[in-house]
Amino acid sequence: MTHKPHMPQRISPAERCYRLLLLLYPHAFRQAYGPEMIQTFRDWRRDARRHGGLPATIKLWGQLLADLVRTAPIEHVRAVAQHLTLKEEPAMLNTYPHLRVASRTDTGRLRDHNEDCLTYVIPDDSQRMARKGAIFVVADGVGGHDRGEVASDIVVRTVQRAYYEQENAEDIAAALVRAIQAANAEVTRQTPPGSRMAATCTAAVICGDTAYIANVGDSRTYLLRDGQVQQITRDHSLVAELMRAGVLTEDQAQTHPMRHFITRSLGGGATVEVDVFREPVREGDVLILCTDGLYGLVEAEEMAAMVAQYGPQESAFRLIECANERGGPDNITAVVAQIADVTRLWKVTSWNV
């Protein structure tokens, strides 16, 4: 980024206020993460003003202040610990990855409401982080069904709650599967008589040096490593099954009249089969969780290039904008989670608008 003369004169009053709030963090923390946090603030404020107006702007400031109250004291404690050179602690501190996370969901250009939903939880408690890790969940209300936005909201809330309620579960993959199955049961339970309510879901847990990834339906999780991108999840859709059987090519699948037909979803019955995958992760790896509103318009290689160039915060914004520029016919959601530094305990997160 080029820095031009007299830059301070162009700083908005809102950014000046945010810069003052950043002074509550330790000096070393501001030096390391201040520029990125300021850029993130600019992006989210611009997006809030463009799409949500005053209510979204107020929500953004509320999330900023909540994050500040939660994180600034912990960073000060960490700074003191570093200053005192507590040499008996680093084995535990080095256990946890430092995660840089950004997320966005958008209605798109043609829909009148958003049936996508997302959440993520990065535990503040170090012992819980060691046992359970951080969880990321994306859900998409199934088209053609009633109250898709309700179904997707039930899914993300139930998955993250049910996962962390299994405090003594040692098998993380199994715990994640049970959490998604609990979401299926909850959507089914809350479906009014005579209605159909369903959602797709992909979820990931990063714990230690492993990512545990699960899905039902056609919401996807990708792994980016060293400039290469790999789809980890397997779509549960008619065209995906036809492609795996060799009946359709990828080009044929993109225009197939049944390309939106889902063969597996949450809320379709008493039980559901959940696919789960284990992937070793290392510093620099990135997970992208997204709905078909994104990957249907933006190729995986394009996603990888954006994340590599801009990092999680800016790329999350650009991914959504790219899909909208190409028509935005569906709701669009992306969570970008990067393992930035395996030697740090604390995490820097961004905000959702």
- 89 pLDDT above the threshold of 50: no
- 84 pLDDT above the threshold of 70: no
**Per-residue confidence (pLDDT) for residue 232, from 0 to 100:** 98
**Per-residue confidence (pLDDT) for residue 9, from 0 to 100:** 39
Q: How far apart are CA 18 and CA 198, in angstroms?
A: 40
The predicted-structure confidence for 234-259, as pLDDT tens digits, reads as follows 999 877 777 677 767 666 666 656 55
Contact 197, 266 (CB under 8 A): no
**Per-residue confidence (pLDDT) for residue 253, from 0 to 100:** 63
Contact 40, 103 (CB under 8 A): no
More confident residue, 202 or 169: 202
- 53 pLDDT above the threshold of 90: no
pTM above 0.75, yes or no: no
To which residue do tokens 């709905």 refer? 291
Among 176, 184, 107, CA closest to 152: 184
Q: How far apart are CA 27 and CA 77, in angstroms?
A: 13
Contact 218, 193 (CB under 8 A): no
Q: How far apart are CA 54 and CA 243, in angstroms?
A: 46
User: In a 3-state reduction of DSSP, which class is residue 286?
Assistant: strand
**Per-residue confidence (pLDDT) for residue 245, from 0 to 100:** 73
- The mean per-residue pLDDT over the stretch 1-11 comes to 41
Q: How far apart are CA 324 and CA 316, in angstroms?
A: 13
Strands (E) in 155-227, as ranges, are: 199-207, 210-216, 220-225
- 350 pLDDT above the threshold of 70: no
**CB-CB neighbours of 280 under 10 Å:** 9
Q: How far apart are CA 52 and CA 59, in angstroms?
A: 10
| Residue 244 identity (one-letter amino acid) | R
- 22 pLDDT above the threshold of 70: yes
> Which strands, in side-by-side order, build the sheet including 134-141?
116-121, 134-141, 199-207, 210-216, 275-280
The predicted-structure confidence for 196-235, as pLDDT tens digits, reads as follows 899 999 999 999 999 999 999 999 999 999 999 999 999 9
Q: What is the CATH number of domain 96-349?
A: 3.60.40.10
CA 345 to chain centre: 19
Phi, psi (rounded to 5 degrees) for 159: -60, -50
Q: How far apart are CA 146 and CA 68, in angstroms?
A: 38
| Residue 327 identity (one-letter amino acid) | G
User: Domain ranges in the chain?
Assistant: 12-88, 96-349
Contact 262, 253 (CB under 8 A): no
Among 206, 209, 231, 211, CA closest to 221: 231
**CB-CB neighbours of 109 under 10 Å:** 14
The predicted-structure confidence for 68-81, as pLDDT tens digits, reads as follows 787 788 778 777 76
Q: What is the DSSP letter of 9?
A: G
The predicted-structure confidence for 132-165, as pLDDT tens digits, reads as follows 999 999 999 997 556 889 999 999 999 999 999 9
Among 312, 310, 259, CA closest to 288: 312
